[in-house]
Amino acid sequence: MGRGRRAPLVGRIVPPEPTIVDLHTHTTRSDGLLEPAALVTNAAAAGIRTLAITDHDTLAGYRDVVAPGGPPLPAGLTLLAGVEINAVGGGFDVPDGELHLVGLGVDPDDEAFEAALAEQRGGRRRRFERMSARLRAAGLGVDAQLAGLDSAHDDALGRPTLARALVAAGFAVSVQDAFARFVGRGGPGYVPREGLGPLEAIRAIRGAGGIPVLAHFSAAPSRRVLLQELIDAGLGGLEVHHRSFDAETVSAVGAVARELGLLASGGTDYHGDDEPYAEAIAETWIPPGIAAGILAALEVGAVA
Ligand SMILES: [Zn+2]
Ligand SMILES: [Zn+2]
């Protein structure tokens, strides 16, 4: 989820000072629109000091920007390897049938984790092909729009990719419109996800040394039984700050995190559909203490 979702104007949070932390972002290595290096450059230019790249099912973006021989990271920036796993809901009754687990500070060299992510990507590709076929059968073919996809960057083909193609083909007026009418749950192009369930995703992230964080789950205050089950599996954090949350939601989700002993996390969930990075971060408040808490838990140490 994400895709530039914004909090409603009423209740939208105005950062009391510039935000310097962003622990939820996407790049072209999944369904974002900025190259990993461009995301890092834009984030640093906007004042971010602690950044996590959390592409869906892949660490490729992180690997790209830390690859030997590449340009050095911007001075003063701490970059975390991250991932977002859209876990199928399993037995849980959850919105859109999914729970999204962000893994922060995972070990990019962990082979078992990489194998699990490769499996996720395979499922994602199969789902993408089945959804394309369903759209075609419904008279909403977007093969021409998808023909230009860079196959080297198809690590995490997702519904946003199909939604953008539907917009390009003139079937929808916006990505949100395409989700609402065609590729959202129950739409003519919709196919359920396959892959890891939430408990498996949490264990996989823990196995790779990362902190599993439940992302943009605004229903948290009324789902304590579910949260406790996730905590028992190893859930370590809750995304208290998200671009789509209004002040009331931040406060309620934050209270649940404190009560259950979960680390607070936060991010823009930036994909790049609607606005430049600087604009997205200017509308998102993530207190600096969020990074300190996550880094301390990862024993990365203080930001230089
Ligand atoms: Zn998500
Ligand atoms: Zn996301």
Tell me the per-residue pLDDT of 163-207, one tens digit each, with 9 for 90 and over: 999 999 999 999 999 999 999 989 999 998 889 999 999 999 999
Q: Which strands make up the sheet holding 21-22, listed edge to edge?
A: 21-22, 50-53, 78-88, 98-104, 211-214, 237-242, 263-267
Helix/strand/coil (H/E/C) assignment for every residue in 113-142: HHHHHHHHHHHHHHHHHHHHHHHHHCCCCC
Report the alpha-carbon distance of residue 92 to residue 84 in Å, rounded. 19
Q: CA nearest 158: which of 85, 231, 259?
A: 85
- Mean pLDDT (the chain) is 91
Q: Is the dihedral of CA 78, 82, 205, 261 positive or negative?
A: positive
Look at residue 302 and tell me whether its pLDDT is greater than 60.
Answer: no
Ligand 2 centre to CA of 31 (Å) is 9
Are the beta carbons of 172 and 178 closer than 8 angstroms? Answer: yes
CA atoms within 13 A on the CB side of 268: 33
| DSSP state for residue 95 in the 8-state scheme | G
Ligand 1 centre to CA of 269 (Å) is 7
Ligand 1 centre to CA of 2 (Å) is 6
Strand, helix or coil for residue 88: strand
Q: Which residues share a beta bridge with 225?
A: none
Averaged over 253-268, what is the pLDDT?
98
Averaged over 220-232, what is the pLDDT?
96
Read off φ and ψ for residue 63, nearest 5 degrees.
-60, -40
Q: Which residues surround ligand 2, an ion (CB under 5 A)?
A: 2, 84, 269
- Find tokens 């931040």 and name the residue: 250
* pLDDT bucket at 153, cuts 50 / 70 / 90: low
Question: Is 137 exposed, middle or buried (CB count within 10 Å of its CB: 0-12, 13-18, 19+)?
Answer: exposed
* pLDDT bucket at 155, cuts 50 / 70 / 90: low
Q: Is the pTM of this model over 0.85?
A: yes
User: Which domains does the chain show, CATH number per domain?
Assistant: 21-298 (3.20.20.140)
Ligand 1 centre to CA of 193 (Å) is 14
Q: What angle do CA 200, 97, 143 make, to 5 degrees?
A: 100
pLDDT of residue 1: 47
Ligand 1 centre to CA of 97 (Å) is 12
- What's the token pair of residue 268? 């823009």
pLDDT of residue 56: 94
Which residues are within 8 A (CB) of 137 and not within 5 positions of it... i.e. 6 or more apart? none
Look at residue 146 and tell me whether its pLDDT is greater than 90.
Answer: no
Are the beta carbons of 60 and 155 closer than 8 angstroms? Answer: yes
